[in-house]
Structure 1
Amino acid sequence: LNVLNVVAYVANALIVYGIGLAGLIEGLPTNQELSEKYQTLITPIGWTFSIWAVIFISQFVFALVQLFSPFSGSVWVINGVGYSYVGVCLAQVGWTFAFSYEVIWLSLVAMLAILFFLLRILYAQYKISVGSSGGSGVSNNTRTLFRDYALLRFPFAIHGGWILVASFLNVSVVLVDLEQSDKVQYYVALVSLVALLVIAAIALSLTKAEYVVPSVFAWALVGIYFELDNPKDLIVNTFEENDIFYVRDGSLIASGIILVSILINLVLGFIKFVRSSKKDSGSSNSKKSREGSDYVRTDEDGVPAV
């Protein structure tokens, strides 16, 4: 499994970079060129796609560390990731070919496959985190939990968040390919914004709130705002000015709501943590005090001293 994860990562990285980004196959357009061709109301501005660098770097680190102890046999890898990461990479390779050859409907199928495998990983790892205890192979040490999250969970949270956004975008790209009316595209764009808000709310309301996925949503929504703040001619010529305005400002408002919700959740979580720490500290001191009061001094013969 560990070696297979490395092979899958390398194959995915080489094909996605070589074909999708660098355009090494003559005659095939790059992802950027195709994004401009299939421009939608929810296509983010170019710099938001730099998130792929974070995704690939974090997954490179994951692929590397999971080869070695103590990570190779970690419950986060064996039970949390399993063979799903191989599925993610295969589906992503499939998406790269489908999109590059402009088989748009097939690219959506591949995108949904990527999403399926990533959600499997996120759900499996979430179940482990909720039921985490020393006996289940998961340390309760805060430092260890943070390390494991950064190395073994974060790469899939950020990837999952971005693929959720990309799935909605891919649906809109299909509508462009099918030459659907501007109103159909507009309403689907609005539904996509609302859906991202709902998913963010669900992620933040979990027993153990997920912050990375909603943060990725906010990043993408800000990117949509900036793209529509100075829209390309294709968008201006296709959509009514009010429709562009509503999606642009709606994406900014949605991003603001998500960021404020994350901040409130973090503050409330910190307050809860502090109160819990004080309560545990008080209980510990009370126990020590009771133990001290039970102590009775005795003389050399073991007779209680008066």
Structure 2
Amino acid sequence: MNNKNDLLRQITNVVVFVFTLVVNFLAIALPLNNRSTSQISDELPSFFTPAGFTFSVWSVIYLALIGFVIYQAMPSQRENIYLRRIGYLPAVANLLNGLWIFAWHYAYYGLSVLLMLALLGTLLTIYIRLNIGLPSQPDEARSNADLLLIYFPMAIYFAWINVATVANIASVVNYAGWNGFGIAEPTWSVIMIGVVTLIAGSVLVSRANAAYAGVLVWALYGISAKQPDNVATAAIVAAVVIAIAAAVGWYRFYQRFKKPNSAATTIAS
């Protein structure tokens, strides 16, 4: 990839992120379609939706993404191997994020699920391409700036969208009147919490990633704060399991992968 293409990638990431910020601002300030986010949540209740305060994690995600966009736009980072590795995927993720907001506010709920799944898949691809949670290779050691401004934003973004995808699907199928094969909705919520925990636990055992784990624990705490006793208990147990899986992942990292030239590992690695 030549310098001209690198510059185009940098500009695209900036432009698309600004679009996403503007859409988010309009969703709050207008709001879009005269429907606030909280109003839509009230219209689409589910036993998987976290308490309102949990969504404050978006402020952390967007601050981290601002850092990412500024960092990737710097001339000195134009040929950064990690930024080249993920290419236009961050721009695709942010575009999907902005389009999802339109779909959500204008009640295109089926489309919102498709956009959310596409966003999840995009972030998963970024996660894999960056080898987040795995030690760097000897010939491509990650700098602290890379870890803080590339790895950390993508890790917490991906973690939250894990939860948001399940919550989105749960809300939409409930709104559509699905009877859940006769299984009570709280029971389905417990099942979904179990599935999320199984997937996240598998990721964390194999990849040391405190940022990913922290966001998931926060989301599960939010679910426990809002939902009835059986769902809340399942969420608390899941949070503990994820914390343990994260600890095991870190132990495995230092026992199996510790090398002198892979020591540049922080909260986001």
Letter of the structure 2 residue corresponding to residue 169 of structure 1:
A
The yes-or-no answer on 1:156 pairing with 2:154 is yes
Q: Give how far 1:60 is off.
A: 0.6
Match of 2:109 in 1: 104
Q: How many Å apart are 1:124 and its aligned residue?
A: 0.6
Q: Within 1, Cα distance between the matches of 2:177 and 2:22?
A: 33
**1:8 equivalent in alignment to 2:16:** yes
Deviation at 1:256, TM superposition (A): 1.4
Q: Residue 39 of structure 1 is aligned with which of 36, 42, 45?
A: 45
Q: Is the 8 Å Cα contact of residues 127 and 154 (structure 2) preserved in structure 1? A: yes
Does the Cα contact within 8 Å between 1:104 and 1:173 map onto a contact in 2?
A: no
1:199 and 1:259 map into 2 onto residues whose CA distance is 13
Corresponding residue number in structure 2 for 1:246? 230
Shift of 1:129: 5.5
What are the Cα deviations for residues 268-287 of structure 1, in whole angstroms up to 9, with x where unaligned?
6567789x77xxxxxxxxxx
Q: Which runs of 5+ in 1 are unaligned?
A: 229-243, 278-306
Deviation at 1:18, TM superposition (A): 1.3
2:242 aligns with one of 258, 263, 276 = 258
Name the CA distance, whole Å, in 1 between partners of 2:254 and 2:20.
39
Letter in 1 for 2:188: V
Are 1:76 and 1:128, in contact at CA under 8 Å, matched by a contact in 2?
no
Structure 2 Cα separation of the partners of residues 271 and 7 of structure 1: 43
Q: 1:128/1:175 Cα in 2 relative to 1: closer, same or farther (>3 Å)?
A: closer
Per-residue CA distance 1:127-149 (angstroms, 9 max, x = gap): 89556232xxx226xxx2x3211
**Separation (CA, whole Å) in 1 of partners of 2:247 and 2:134:** 22
* Structure 1 equivalent of residue 29 of structure 2: 22
**Structure 2: tracts of 5 or more residues without a match:** 1-8, 261-269
Contact between 1:203 and 1:211, CA under 8 Å: does it hold in 2?
no
1:113 to 112, 115, 118: 118
Amino acid at match of 1:214: A
**In the TM superposition, what whole-angstrom CA distance separates every residue of 1:85-122 from its partner, at most 9, and x where no partner exists?**
12112211211111101111111011111111111111
Q: Between Structure 1 and Structure 2, how many residues are aligned? A: 250
**Deviation by residue 1:245-266 (Cα, 9 ceiling, x = unmatched):** 2211100111112123323544
Root-mean-square deviation (CA), in Å?
2.4
Deviation at 1:37, TM superposition (A): 1.7
* Cα pair 2:134 2:208 within 8 Å, conserved: no
Identical-residue share of aligned pairs (%): 24
Q: Give the TM-score of the pair, scaled to structure 2.
A: 0.84
1:2-35 per-residue CA deviation (whole Å, 9 max, x = no partner) reads 011000110011102212x33344x421212111
Q: 1:256 to 1:119 in 2, by over 3 A?
A: same
Q: Contact 1:193/1:251 (CA < 8 Å) preserved in 2? A: yes
Give deviations 1:178-204, integer Å, cap 9, x for gaps. Answer: 123373533431221112111222222
What are the residue-to-residue correspondences of 1:24-173 with 2, within 5 Å?
A: 24-25=31-32, 27-79=33-85, 81-126=86-131, 132-134=137-139, 138-139=140-141, 144=143, 146-173=144-171
What is aligned with 1:200? 200
Amino acid at match of 1:89: N
Q: Which structure is higher in RCO with an 8 Å CA cutoff and minimum separation 6?
A: 2
Amino acid at match of 2:117: L
- The amino acid across from 2:34 in the alignment is L
Q: Which has the larger radius of gyration?
A: 1
What amino acid is aligned across from residue 166 of structure 2 in structure 1?
A: F
1:134-183 deviation per Cα after TM superposition (whole angstroms, max 9, x unaligned): 2xxx226xxx2x32111111111101100010010011111221123373
What TM-score do the two structures reach when normalised by structure 1?
Answer: 0.75
Cα distance, 1:205–1:262 mapped onto 2, change above 3 Å: closer
